[in-house]
């Protein structure tokens, strides 16, 4: 018993993201990752509803959160899926550097979107400082 605790305790300290169930989903290409990412997040919460999930988008990933955006291959509108996930506690963040470079106004995004100055910096902060586990669908 003591031997088991000696092994388990350092793992809980070394990997607090898993002990706290905090997960970051990284989206940088909405066309390739959008539907799959939203489905993965829904499934994740169905199995582990206590998980704190943050989605950080940058580059072409910000398109996922544009108002009226849809998966053209499957004709699935992202907005209702995002709204449902937001009610389940998921946070969606958009990179402002991408918006500046692509000249997209913040009012073009779904109301569930939050904004962060740099998507890649935010990803690093969530992993290093806040111990989020990383998933790239």
Give the pLDDT score at 17: 45
Q: What's the pLDDT tens digit per position in 45-101?
A: 999 999 999 999 999 999 999 999 999 888 899 999 999 999 999 999 999 999 999
Does residue 1 belong to any structural domain of this protein? no
Does residue 4 belong to any structural domain of this protein? no
Does residue 11 belong to any structural domain of this protein? no
Q: Per mean pLDDT, which range of 28-32, 73-77, 108-112 is the poorest? A: 73-77
Does residue 43 belong to any structural domain of this protein? yes
Q: Per mean pLDDT, which range of 19-28, 35-44, 95-104 is the poorest? A: 19-28
The three-state secondary structure class of 35 is helix
Does residue 5 belong to any structural domain of this protein? no
Does residue 8 belong to any structural domain of this protein? no
For the entire predicted model, the pTM comes to 0.84
Does residue 2 belong to any structural domain of this protein? no
CATH of the domain at 82: 3.40.1260.10
42 CB-near residues (< 8 Å, 6+ apart): 81, 84, 85
Does residue 9 belong to any structural domain of this protein? no
Handedness of CA 121, 127, 131, 137 (dihedral sign): positive
Element (H, E) at 135: strand 133-135
> Torsion angle of alpha carbons 36, 119, 115, 44, nearest 10°?
30
Structural domain range at position 59: 16-135
**Number of domains within the chain:** 1
**Mean pLDDT, range 28-32, rounded to an integer:** 96
pLDDT for residue 10 is more than 60: no
d(CA 21, CA 50): 7
């Amino acid at each position: 018993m003591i031997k088991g605790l000696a092994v388990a305790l350092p793992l809980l300290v070394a990997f607090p993201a898993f002990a706290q169930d905090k997960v970051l989903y990284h989206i940088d290409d909405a066309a390739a990752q959008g539907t799959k990412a939203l489905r993965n997040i829904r499934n994740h919460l169905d199995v582990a509803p206590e998980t704190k999930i943050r989605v950080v988008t940058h580059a072409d990933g910000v398109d996922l959160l544009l108002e009226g955006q849809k998966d053209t291959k499957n004709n699935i509108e992202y907005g209702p899926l995002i709204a449902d996930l937001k009610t389940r506690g998921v946070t969606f963040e958009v990179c402002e550097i991408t918006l500046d470079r692509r000249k997209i106004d913040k009012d073009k995004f779904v109301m569930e979107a939050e904004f962060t100055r740099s998507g890649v910096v935010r990803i690093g902060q969530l992993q290093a400082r806040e111990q989020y586990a990383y998933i790239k669908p």
